[in-house]
Amino acid sequence: MAEVLVFHHAHGLTAGVRGFAEQLRRAGHTVHVPDLYEGRVFASLEEGAAHAESIGFDTLTGRGAAVAEELPPELVYVGFSLGVLPAQKLAQTRPGAKGALLLEACVPVTEFGATWPRDVPAQIHGMDADPFFAGEGDADAARQLVEIAKDAELFLYPGDRHLFTDNSLPSHDEQAAPRVEHRVLDFLDRVG
């Protein structure tokens, strides 16, 4: 079984993110879910993004790294949208990573000053018409990661929703989200 560190999206640590982590636990994995917003949860993506900007993306990524330092290095890092920042940075730069699951976002690997480690498998999931994932370059960054990594997969789902994997938000997609969860559990079984 894998040990997993899950980072929430811009809304904060929602019931949907907590539920996702609980599904992984029920499958036998050890899961850590830090609250990078220190208890704040936002009803709208715009409010959450404004809060993240006010804190600073480097500060949020630093909070994620501080949590990771308290855990063993052999982790699978999971990020939902904004949470991809700490998840991807740690997967790329912290030795010992077992894998990365990047949900609804992907950052160019050059953002963290290093290439993708060849021995770190990855999965990236996003909707093909999501204005954030498809429209802001994340899908292109994901394709680049797949090209350079030894073991990486990009899964695109039909639709234009962002945060479609969080079942506590109106953007949840009942068709695509279970497919993501199934693929995530298969990935964790493989790398764990």
Is residue 171 predicted with pLDDT exceeding 80?
yes
Query: Per 3-state DSSP, what percentage of the chain is helix, strand, and coil (rounded to 5)?
Result: 40, 15, 40
Q: Which residue has the higher pLDDT, 120 or 113?
A: 120
Q: Enter the tokens of residue 36.
A: 């990078």
**Polymer length of the chain:** 192
Is residue 134 predicted with pLDDT exceeding 80?
yes
Residue-averaged pLDDT of the chain = 96
Nearest C-alpha neighbor of 41 from the set 68, 70, 18: 18
Nearest C-alpha neighbor of 7 from the set 93, 96, 81: 81
Is residue 76 predicted with pLDDT exceeding 90?
yes
pLDDT of residue 18: 98
All domains of the chain, ordered by start, with CATH? 3-191 (3.40.50.1820)
CA 62 to chain centre: 16
Other beta carbons less than 10 A from residue 139's beta carbon: 21
Torsion over CA: 61, 92, 130, 191 (sign) = negative
The pTM for the full model equals: 0.96
pLDDT band at 113 (very low <50, low <70, confident <90, very high): confident
pLDDT of residue 70: 96
pLDDT tens-digit series, residues 11-50:
999 999 999 999 999 999 999 999 999 999 999 999 999 9
What is the pLDDT averaged over residues 183-191? 97
